Amino acid sequence: MNLTIADVRLTPILVADPPLLNTQGVHQPYTPRLIVEVETADGVVGVGETYGDTKYLELARPFAEKLIGRQVSDLNGLFTVADEVAVDDARVSGQVDVGGLRGVQTADKLRLSVVSGFEVACLDALGKALGLPVHALLGGKVRDAVEYSAYLFYKWADHPAGVAAEKDDWGAAVDPAGVVAQARLFKERYGFTSFKLKGGVFPPDEEIAAVRALAEAFPGHPLRLDPNGAWSVATSLRVAEELGDVLEYLEDPALGTAAMAEVAAGTDVPLATNMCVTTFAEIAEAFGKGAVQVVLSDHHYWGGLRNTQQLAAICRTFGVGVSMHSNTHLGISLAAMTHVAATVPDLHHACDSHYPWQAEDVLTERLVFEGGKVAVSDAPGLGVELDREKLRVLHRRWLDDDGTLRERDDAAAMRVAEPGWVTPGVPRW
Ligand SMILES: O=C([O-])[C@@H](O)[C@@H](O)[C@H](O)[C@@H](O)C(=O)[O-]
Ligand SMILES: [Mg+2]
């Protein structure tokens, strides 16, 4: 068996995305992702996926060249190689990613986001070569299915008139009744039993009313609200007080560790984050201050599946919960999330996933949620197969784009509907 990396292919794509609202604005009609393929000298191909904005591509290209001749089994070596890839300072100093939605922006985090795509591709190739599923390479699954939550968004029925976009069949959701109707659809289509609402879109009282409506429609079901740091400490505490009886946790109510610590000190509602703890360097302060009770790992920016396991071990040590964050992603990443989640013993919350919003994928068969869960595949590697024709079509879309959609920019998308729109200052309420 020859595990030497003989070829690496990078395919940036644009994937259709519905008009989902958040505190920054609205999703663009197409969003960038990067598909990574690693091929061994024996012709075994492993696939990975990560963020596709230009700054990730800029790093992925030199990184890919350095991998030729290395072993797909050399997962630790990926971090050494990453350190050799220069990050343009202009990409990080004073910069935020998607208006701050992905937390702090550092050179290391950019590198790790690139590493994760390659790590998953190497694990997939290694698993296929050895005849083992990825979860086995990570130490073995402790559960046969991984639970996900319905990721509810305020949403328009369509992208603004005149904008080239794919039509979706979810309809609009701009008030409590719309949110409940969307939740019912999620339950009907995928069997989800816990619900997360992306907040920070409307004044807090409207979002409180939406969560109350969800609690009435789905009594006893775990509920979460995530305004992406849009609220002041006082507002966060008021929301916690009003919804404390129905919330499983409140996610990033206020921005930054200091504000989160203040909120945490004033409420018994657990706080979750995918914004103030997104790197190992941020853990000590946040845990020391008791700022967060659940860390939502995103294996893309934490540096892959094995780093996610390390994060889970640190969380366990400090009595902090762990679950998973999601940003727009396709089936390769859902498969990767499912494999690693299957290996984490203390996973007590359903993971997030945007996957139901992505009608397009690059796989021959979509992953399926049954009863809100994805079954953990025991097939070699990730257990997914790349559909080259679908990949070609989505890549063509990326090639044809004039550059405007190659960077995620929710504020720019909002300006199409509201020309004066600027990214709201924080706290917004
Ligand atoms: O897709 C969105 O609009 C979300 O707001 C996303 O960008 C966040 O990273 C995320 O899902 C979250 O939980 O904060
Ligand atoms: Mg969040």
Q: What pLDDT score does 333 carry?
A: 98
Q: Among 423, 428, 24, which Cα is nearest to 255's?
A: 428
Structure tokens at 74: 């050399």
More confident call, 103 vs 140: 140
Q: Kindly provide the ipTM of the predicted complex, given to two decimals.
A: 0.95
C-alpha distances in Å from residue 300, one per residue of 50, 112, 303, 388? 6, 7, 6, 23
- Mean pLDDT throughout 201-225? 98
Ligand 2 centroid to Cα of residue 309, in Å, is: 20
Residue from 113, 226, 228, 255 to probe ligand 1 pocket by mutation (most atoms less than 8 Å from CB): 228
CATH 3.30.390.10 domain locations along the chain: 5-135+387-401
How far from the centroid of its chain's Cα atoms is residue 110's Cα? 15
Q: Does pLDDT of 95 surpass 80?
A: no
Q: What pLDDT score does 367 carry?
A: 98
Ligand 1 centroid to Cα of residue 361, in Å, is: 19
What burial class does residue 229 get, using C-beta atoms within 10 Å of its C-beta: 0-12 exposed, 13-18 middle, 19+ buried? buried
Identify the active-site residue in 109, 159, 198, 300.
198
Burial 163-196 (b: 16+ CB within 10 A, else e): eebeebebeebbebebbbbbbebbbeebebbbbb
Helix (H, G, I), strand (E, B) or coil at 375: strand
> Rounded distance, CA 43 to CA 65, Å?
18
Q: Which atom of ligand 1 is nearest to the CA of 23?
A: 5
Residue 275 φ then ψ, to 5°: -125, -40
Residue from 327, 337, 358, 409 to probe ligand 1 pocket by mutation (most atoms less than 8 Å from CB): 327
Judge contact between 186 and 49, C-beta under 8 A: no
Q: Does pLDDT of 100 surpass 80?
A: no
Q: Which atom of ligand 1 is nearest to the CA of 296?
A: 13
CATH topology (fold) of 5-135+387-401: Enolase-like; domain 1 (3.30.390)
Q: Does pLDDT of 96 surpass 70?
A: no
Structure tokens at 378: 């025991």
- Asked if residue 228 has its Cβ within 6 Å of ligand 1, the reply is yes
> Rounded distance, CA 26 to CA 154, Å?
10
What burial class does residue 144 get, using C-beta atoms within 10 Å of its C-beta: 0-12 exposed, 13-18 middle, 19+ buried? exposed
> Rounded distance, CA 101 to CA 408, Å?
11
Q: Does pLDDT of 93 surpass 80?
A: no
> Mean of the per-residue pLDDT values for the chain?
97
Pairing state between β 30-40 and 5-16: antiparallel
- Asked if residue 22 has its Cβ within 6 Å of ligand 1, the reply is yes
pLDDT tens per residue across span 237-279: 999 999 999 999 999 999 999 999 999 999 999 999 999 999 9
Ligand 1 centroid to Cα of residue 101, in Å, is: 6
Ligand 1 centroid to Cα of residue 153, in Å, is: 10
- Asked if residue 358 has its Cβ within 6 Å of ligand 1, the reply is no
Q: Tell me if residue 373 is catalytic.
A: no
Q: Does pLDDT of 426 surpass 90?
A: yes
Residue 127 φ then ψ, to 5°: -60, -40
Residue 36 φ then ψ, to 5°: -110, 135
Q: Which atom of ligand 1 is nearest to the CA of 153?
A: 3
Which CATH architecture describes the domain 139-375?
Alpha-Beta Barrel (3.20)
Q: What is the DSSP code string of 149-216?
A: -EEEE-B-SSSPTT------SS--B-SHHHHHHHHHHHHHHH----EEEE-SSS-HHHHHHHHHHHHH
- Asked if residue 274 has its Cβ within 6 Å of ligand 1, the reply is yes
- Asked if residue 309 has its Cβ within 6 Å of ligand 1, the reply is no
Ligand 2 centroid to Cα of residue 368, in Å, is: 23
- Mean pLDDT throughout 108-123? 97
Q: Which atom of ligand 1 is nearest to the CA of 151?
A: 11
Q: Which atom of ligand 1 is nearest to the CA of 21?
A: 3
- Supply the DSSP symbol for 71: B
- Asked if residue 327 has its Cβ within 6 Å of ligand 1, the reply is yes
* Terminal-residue alpha carbon distance, the chain: 59
Q: What pLDDT score does 337 carry?
A: 98
Structure tokens at 9: 């292919």
Helix (H, G, I), strand (E, B) or coil at 219: coil
- What share of the chain in percent tops pLDDT 90? 95
CB proximity list for 12: less than 8 A, separation 6 or greater? 32, 33, 34, 35, 52, 57, 395, 398, 406
Q: Among 167, 143, 146, which Cα is nearest to 157's?
A: 167
CB atoms inside a 10 Å sphere around CB 212: 15
Ligand nearest to the CA of 23: 1
CATH 3.20.20.120 domain locations along the chain: 139-375
Q: Does pLDDT of 67 surpass 90?
A: yes
- Asked if residue 338 has its Cβ within 6 Å of ligand 1, the reply is no
> Rounded distance, CA 327 to CA 146, Å?
18
Q: Tell me if residue 348 is catalytic.
A: no
pLDDT tens per residue across span 367-420: 999 999 999 999 999 999 999 999 999 999 999 999 999 999 999 999 999 999
Identify the active-site residue in 109, 135, 300, 325.
325
